[in-house]
């Protein structure tokens, strides 16, 4: 498996899903880290939801993020 790079971090899992959908519509495979723990412990807000992509897709993903 290729190395994963975090391109964004959100306090709200819904915001992470919006970016994930946008990236996947462009053909970029996207992974969410901490999505379940953030949902279960949302009242405590221990950690943010990280949006990650493969290293070779990271520059294209960043271009889409900043469009």
Q: Kindly report the CA angle at 55 between 36 and 7, in degrees rounded to 5?
A: 50
For 13-56, the pLDDT digits (tens) are 899 999 999 999 999 999 999 887 755 665 565 678 999 999 99
| DSSP β-bridge partners for residue 32 | 51
User: Which residues lie below 8 Å from residue 57, measured CB to CB, with a gap of 6+?
Assistant: 28, 29
Closest CA to 52 of 22, 9, 14: 9
Q: Is the pLDDT of residue 1 over 80?
A: no
- pLDDT at position 43 is 57
CA distance 48 to 33: 9
CA distance 54 to 65: 15
Q: What is the pTM assigned to this prediction?
A: 0.82
């Amino acid at each position: 498996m290729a190395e994963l790079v975090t391109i964004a971090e959100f306090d709200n899992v819904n915001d992470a899903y919006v970016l994930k959908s946008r990236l996947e519509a462009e053909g970029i495979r996207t992974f969410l880290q901490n999505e379940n723990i953030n949902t279960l412990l949302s009242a405590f807000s221990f950690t943010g939801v990280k949006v990650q992509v493969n290293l070779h897709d990271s520059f294209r993903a960043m271009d889409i993020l900043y469009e």
